[in-house]
Structure 1
Amino acid sequence: MSISSGEARDGGFELTAIRLPVAATFAALVIGLGLGVAFSGGTLAQWVQDSVALVGTLWLRALQMTIIPLVASLLVLGIAQMIAAARAGAAAIRFLSIVFAVLIAGGIFTAFAMPLVLEAFPIPAAASGFLAEVPDGDQQVPGILDFAASLIAPNMVAAAADTAMLPLTIFFALFAVAIAKLPKGQGQTLLAFFHALANAMLMIIGWVLWVAPAGVLALAFGVGLRSGGGAFAALAHYILIVSAMGGFILVLAYALAWAAGGISPLRFASAVLPAQAVAVSTQSSLASLPAMLDSSNRLGLRAEASEFVLPLAVAIFRATSVAMNLAVALYVSALAGIDVPPALMVVGILIAVIISIGSVSLPGSISFVVSIGPIALAMGVPIEPLALLVAVEMLPDIMRTLANVTMNVAAVSVVDRSANEAEPI
């Protein structure tokens, strides 16, 4: 999903919009892998390999350095936005109930389905080359008691230095709730600070992403050297598996419209098809908003419902985020041979839900790093492979946008039906 340069407004917060050079980054991935494969059977001077690896490492570190401040600011703004939406009335409460139900259902489905899918369709052996950038040392997965102790950090600065995402996420979620209860002037002052911080971090990450082709090419070259031609098959496997988790949300949208919205699957499919076509072609929920309004009208849903729910959904609801982001983290954990215990799986789902609120208004390629990094860190999963996987996010993002748009229209049908049975919107 991409947003044009300049200023973009989502849900009342203006954030500096940036654009990842998607085509150039994807081309750099292919070229880097190709060059790596070409030199994998020959002799290449070690200083050349080291120099290329340095470029990739520096770009990776530049990408990582913005995660914590950007996540913190977006969490505060996103939760404040969610609280403001909840105050809009009964219809908003109904919609938010759908949001959380869908996000949690997606996380639970992925937690159970992902291991089964990877067992039936194992990760190609060549994918091990993607882990060469992981720092030396075994990845430590904390036990249940360590997990319980990690919920609260006595020193948030130390927690940030250790990238302890669980206590940081809890702290900033509570901080956002506290801001909402402050006198209006004080709350607005703090929100303005976090808004400025988010814009500054987005500006930095924008600069980093503008040189993404160079960084991705360098990282991909190393993967090609280690994995050979099998690296392409490994990426294809990753794209299909992660997209399949998003497919669950797509199917769930039809089921939700039928069971809770009272609309037959065939009628719903026919009405939502134009909006889905726009979603696939633009990979933008915002650009699909007029088509979603038209689909709601085709279904005979009240304009009051669609004109209230759909803009709010575009601002704060990305239905596939938990299912697909958790899938990426679990894919990398399987790649690294890390067994995620049930307690940490629950942590991953909860953090994915909370992070989804803050990162929903960002372009897909940017929210990929911001959203999945904290999930992986909280579960003890290495985040280094994300620097390469972001280069192919343009493909899973098609499924993300398709399912998100479909679920948004399904949510309108549920809110409209429940409002008819209660009071008007």
Structure 2
Amino acid sequence: MSQATRILTALVAGLLLGIGLAYWSPATDAALLAVAEPVGTLWLNALQMTIVPLVVGLLVTGIAASAEAARANRLASRALVIFIALLWTSSALAAVIMFVLLDLFPLGAASAEALRSAVASAGSVGEVPPFADFIVAMVPTNPLNAAASGAFLPLIVFTVVFAFAVTRLPDAPRKLLTGVFQAIADTMLIVIGWVLWLAPIGVFALAFGVGAKAGAAAFGALVHYVLIVTATGAAVTLLAFPVAIFGGRLRLGDYLRAMTQPAAVAVSTQSSLASLPAMLRASERLNIPVATSGVVLPLAVAVFRYTGPAMNLAVALYVAHIFGVELTPTQVAIGIAAAAVTTMGSVSLPGTISFVSAIAPIALAMGLPIGPLALLVAVETFPDIMRTLGNVSMNVAATSAIAKRTGGDRTAESEADEILARAPE
């Protein structure tokens, strides 16, 4: 049984047991709830303790890797510019789409209240300062204090500045520092692996509490969450079509036919890396020069996760919806920026591992609780399929647009040959 299946099974079992005992034996339900709540909170705290060092480590190494690729050749630098523009577009579109979807299809009042009361102990909604104070607070006077107090936006600002400063160092100290931060990130990923090995216990305990307090409404709320977040990812993915048609000068039918195999691999594996060979073959069918696709697609798999900002922000906005938070324009802008920036440090790992580390900084920067994420991670398997499908679709579309901009000229080809020649066997 896969890790995602074990977690999902624990979620369903916990919900059913909590709902059943609340109906048939309230006394037993209350006694077990007194045990389940501390266990769930303990597991959630273990998950949260990895967030700050992991996010800092991934951001530094992600920005360093992007800068290294940009220095390698002009084709990579052009690709990175387009990737960054698409990441910010993805994040901004998600904010608009989520508000529209939640306005048209809001979570039922009873389900929202039940779920809110069930996860209230997992965190509270923070306050966002006035705009002038917010601007001043973006630059921390003490980065360590910002990390200790959970002030994620100032911490992200400092980390981004620090990471770009690292890229300006000579080779020896730059490689030393990035190696240290890579080791920190890798260590935290090992710790997260240990914590997630215990996820069925933690998720079962949290789900039991939700089932006991929220009843059958919890199932409806989780289904609503999956549909809304997946729909947001699908809507953002549609941008791949105009990018391919107008940017890459492709025919819609040709693009759809070429993407059949990459889409099938993406859905079945939920891995952009596993889909890379199929994407390369699709690019060949679309007559995209190998000199371009051979450089851009591997780079895209490494640093470009198009649906990441959109679906990560969508989860944070859904948490706000659960708690009935009326988000200010400042909070929305913070979320858009945090989603776009932190995606640069994301990793190619299954959604259950990267879920909390990717979304917690966005929620914390917006002043939202992250406790519900420990429950929502159990159903991440379904939105994760949409994430991968959207990433693969945009990877090929963006590659076609980049190929059209470079014209597949000899310069791009020679640069690609140079990269391949330097690559290890």
Instruction: Name the TM-score, length of structure 2 as normaliser.
Output: 0.92
Deviations 1:294-351 (A, max 9, x none): 1001111111111111110000010001111111000100111112211221111111
Tell me if the contact between 1:255 and 1:265 (Cα under 8 Å) persists in the aligned partners. Answer: no
Partner of 2:80: 96
Relative to structure 1, the CA distance from residue 49 to residue 421 in structure 2 (aligned partners, 3 Å threshold; closer, same or farther) is: closer
Q: What SS does structure 2 have at the residue aligned with 1:154?
A: coil
Matched, 1:33 2:19: no
Tell me if the contact between 1:242 and 1:328 (Cα under 8 Å) persists in the aligned partners. Answer: yes
Q: Which moved more, 1:78-87 or 1:36-45?
A: 36-45
Aligned-residue offset at 1:353: 1.2
**Which AA in structure 1 matches 2:381?**
M
> How far apart, CA to CA, are the structure 2 residues paired with 1:87 and 1:267?
34
Deviations 1:183-209 (A, max 9, x none): 211111111111111111111111000
User: Given the alignment, which residue of 5, 23, 26 partners 1:43?
Assistant: 26
> How far apart, CA to CA, are the structure 1 residues paired with 2:19 and 2:409?
63
Question: Aligned Cα RMSD in Å?
Answer: 1.6
Tell me if the contact between 1:110 and 1:326 (Cα under 8 Å) persists in the aligned partners. Answer: yes
Q: What SS does structure 2 have at the residue aligned with 1:263?
A: coil
Aligned-residue offset at 1:137: 5.7
Partner of 2:304: 317
User: How many residue pairs get matched?
Assistant: 407
> How far apart, CA to CA, are the structure 1 residues paired with 2:244 and 2:86?
13
Relative to structure 1, the CA distance from residue 147 to residue 60 in structure 2 (aligned partners, 3 Å threshold; closer, same or farther) is: same
Partner of 2:71: 87
> How far apart, CA to CA, are the structure 2 residues paired with 1:411 and 1:137?
40
Aligned-residue offset at 1:20: 7.5
User: Given the alignment, which residue of 49, 52, 69 partners 1:65?
Assistant: 49
Partner of 2:418: none
Partner of 1:126: 111
Partner of 1:7: none
Partner of 1:371: 358
Structure 2 residue runs of 5 or longer lacking an equivalent are 413-425
> How far apart, CA to CA, are the structure 1 residues paired with 2:273 and 2:306?
14
Instruction: Name the TM-score, length of structure 1 as normaliser.
Output: 0.92
The answer to which structure has the higher helix fraction is 2
Q: What SS does structure 2 have at the residue aligned with 1:181?
A: coil
Q: What SS does structure 2 have at the residue aligned with 1:160?
A: helix
Deviations 1:115-151 (A, max 9, x none): 2211110113324444333447653232212311220
Tell me if the contact between 1:85 and 1:92 (Cα under 8 Å) persists in the aligned partners. Answer: yes
Aligned-residue offset at 1:255: 1.2
> How far apart, CA to CA, are the structure 2 residues paired with 1:196 and 1:134?
35
Partner of 2:94: 110
**Which AA in structure 1 matches 2:189?**
L
Deviations 1:258-287 (A, max 9, x none): 011000111101111110000000000000
> How far apart, CA to CA, are the structure 1 residues paired with 2:93 and 2:195?
34
Q: What SS does structure 2 have at the residue aligned with 1:285?
A: coil
**Which AA in structure 2 matches 1:382?**
P
Could you list the runs of 4 or more consecutive aligned residues of structure 1 that deviate by over 6 angstroms after TM superposition?
none
Q: Work out the percentage of aligned pairs sharing the same amino acid.
A: 48
> How far apart, CA to CA, are the structure 1 residues paired with 2:20 and 2:223?
20
> How far apart, CA to CA, are the structure 2 residues paired with 1:194 and 1:20?
30
Q: What SS does structure 2 have at the residue aligned with 1:122?
A: coil
Deviations 1:225-248 (A, max 9, x none): 111112111111101110111112
User: Given the alignment, which residue of 311, 315, 326 partners 1:339?
Assistant: 326
Deviations 1:151-195 (A, max 9, x none): 011111211111111111011111111111112111111111111
> How far apart, CA to CA, are the structure 1 residues paired with 2:135 and 2:206?
36
> How far apart, CA to CA, are the structure 1 residues paired with 2:138 and 2:410?
41
Aligned-residue offset at 1:26: 0.4
Q: What SS does structure 1 have at the residue aligned with 2:250?
A: coil
Q: What SS does structure 1 have at the residue aligned with 2:27?
A: coil
> How far apart, CA to CA, are the structure 2 residues paired with 1:421 and 1:23?
44
Structure 1 residue runs of 5 or longer lacking an equivalent are 1-18
**Which AA in structure 1 matches 2:175?**
Q
